[in-house]
Amino acid sequence: MKRSKYKKWIGNGITYIMLVAIIFMAVVVVTSKVSGGEPEMFGFQFKTVLSGSMEPEFDTGSVIVVKPVGDSERFNKGDVITFLEEDGKLITHRVVDVVSNGERVMYQTKGDNNQSPDRNLVLAENIVAQYSGFSIPFLGYIVNIAKSQNGAFLLLIPGIILLGYAGYVIFQAIREIDRSEKEKLNTIQDKSATS
């Protein structure tokens, strides 16, 4: 009896995990295709980490959750910000110094894993988001695949697994019903034979 209870819990757990995976991947693909950029949910954006400059805060291939900023002149030393470089590339590094000359606020940034600060100061208007403190290791690799041209195909994999598992559960349930029906029938036949 306990064994079947554990099987049921494990089965339910697998079902919920697969369902969450399908929903998450669908959201990632749809939001990135609609926005033409990074996936977004509940006002937060998901950015893929492409280098190890911020290790151990987050690893290469992680997805970090960032909050787009309104007031970009409010950051302090120690904040982790995402900013646009001159070449249009997004970088997420830690603020190591705030430089203000009266009319402009600029930030000196540095990757935690880098030996020296970044070469250029970051203008406040180039800051696009602030790191929320939440990251998911290795998910970036999957997100990059999902955002690719054939990424929607990736949604089929958890879907097929979930359908296969649902078929297996239905088959097991039918087998269990047949078994209990046979037991009831045998019990009724045994009672009528002894009467």
Q: How many residues does the chain have?
A: 195
Q: Is 135 considered catalytic here?
A: no
Residue 91 pairs in a beta bridge with 83
Residue pair 112/144 in contact by the 8 Å Cβ criterion: no
In angstroms, the CA 124 to CA 127 distance is 6
| Phi, psi of 164, rounded to the nearest 5 degrees | -60, -45
Looking at 51, 100, 148, 180, which residue is catalytic?
Answer: 51
Residue among 63, 42, 34 at smallest CA distance from 143: 63
- Residues designated as active site: 51
